Chain A
Amino acid sequence: MTSYGRGLRGLSVATIATITVALALVFFYAPLDANQGFIQKIFYIHVPLAIVALCGFVVGGLLAIAHLRTGDRKWDLRSYVAIHMALIFGVGGLITGSIWAKASWGHWWVWSDPTLVSFLIVMLLFATYQPLRFSIEDPERQARYASVFAIVAGAFVPLNFIAVRMAQGVVHPRVLTLTGGRLPGSMGLTFAVSLLGIALLYATLWNYEIAAKRARMQLRRLRRAALGDDAAGALGRSAAPS
């Protein structure tokens, strides 16, 4: 018997709980930034979104390696969902980053920030993942090529950050570095909890999407087995692996 969404309830509860705690910390515990004021608090959602998105891309690449090595299509599904979720989180990261940039520095976009620029480049690359999948009709080939792409793009992420950082040269005076080096204690705690919340949200949504897709595929398989090859109907336009 297949079960769908095992452990999903527990994960969802943990996610909601953590995010609630994080929000409480953000609004009631974390100190107000002297320079930027209230708007600085968007950092608690912007940076976790960006970090989780980048990790999601790298994880997508690792899952793609598993797919190519084993030939088992379930890894391709996992890789697809990881990347597609990471893209959504990444767009959120870009938007919140832009809002923060406008509030802090007066511009919607700043080239002097290497992290933001690297992130944009990575997003431009991964935004081509779904168009690539869409444009390959043979399902086996689509899965294989998508995995090749995910591996190349996943390896690209760290390389890109290094190159752009070196290009910008100037160390932009930001409050934080990705390692959270200079955050005072209370901010650090809030940040850590927010990061955990966003990461759990990602994991929960990932599991939900996988469960939904697996259930749909199984339904199609059963319909085909019971009612003949044509009973399942054509799959709608979707980049998702079948």
Chain B
Amino acid sequence: MRATFAVLAKDLRLELRTFETLPAMVLFSLSTFVIFHFALGRSAVGGQLAAGILTVTLLFAALLGAGRLFVAEREQGGFDAFLLAPVDRTSLLAAKAAAMFLFLALLEVVAVPAFGVLLLGPALGPRLPGLIAVLALADLALAVIGTLVSAIAIHTRARDMISPIIGLPLLLPALIATARAAAPVLSVHGSGAPPGKWLLILALYDVVFALIAYAVFDFLLED
């Protein structure tokens, strides 16, 4: 636990110092909303279409952010520094996933209202609680898979390519669940509550992949 906090604090401090990741994710999301407006020729979307756009935008922003997760470790000796310490190796997984989750949450603080203003037809306000529930579970999935895939990709030659091509298929079930759960929330006549079935699938996905990531992560670090 102590090690997880140490790594997380270090990463947050680094982000505050360099601002390398979060602003880029935010800008990317905003640009993507604009692109969707022109690509779809729509000024207001609702229901499944809105859920799809929001989900896809978050996904790509997450992959962008995940790609940066281990770069400092790789290029500045951070892996060695961590591996030399008498700590549980999976605390690195926990710390990085936590950092990723925080970045996504902060991203959404800007991107979701922006989405509400730029593209969403129905009013965002009353729909927010339901949406937050969906996004919280989705962010967990993106954080776990993003960390796992990024850790695999960091030691490869083509790390910027490997990350998305492995991450996208892996995330598909979570994306399906996210988009399906958010659709009723974002529709004009919807009840505002996300359907329980999809939240359950998303939660199960989170748990299963968190366990799998926990089980295999050690093997990615050892040499």
Contact = CB atoms under 8 A, between A and B. Distances in A.
B162 interface: yes
A111 to B, nearest CB: 12
| Dominant SS among interface residues on chain A | helix
A24 B158 CA distance: 48
Interface stretch (B26-34, B128-136, B167-175, B186-194): B167-175
Interface size, A (range): 20 to 34
A136 B223 CA distance: 13
Contact of B166 (A128, A138, A166): A128
Contacts of B170: 125, 152-153, 156
Contacts of B197: 166
Contact of B162 (A128, A138, A144, A167): A128
A152 B212 contact: yes
A217 to B, nearest CB: 23
Contacts of A131: 158, 161-162, 165
Interface string B198-222: 0001000100110011011001101
A33 interface: no
B169 A145 contact: no
A103 to B, nearest CB: 28
Interface stretch (B11-19, B36-44, B149-157): B149-157
A28 B62 CA distance: 55
A143 to B, nearest CB: 10
A138 B197 CA distance: 44
A70 interface: no
A101 interface: no
Q: Among the interface residues A122, A124, A147, A159, which one has the most CB atoms of the partner chain B within 10 A?
A: A159
A179 interface: no
A155 interface: yes
Contact of B156 (A132, A148, A152, A155): A132
B63 interface: no
Given A68-B216, A145-B152, A160-B172, 12 more contacts: A124-B169, A131-B161, A132-B162, A135-B157, A148-B152, A148-B220, A152-B212, A152-B213, A156-B170, A163-B172, A164-B173, A167-B180
Interface of B: 148, 152, 155-158, 161-162, 165-166, 168-170, 172-173, 176-177, 180, 197, 201, 205, 208-209, 212-213, 215-216, 219-220, 222-223
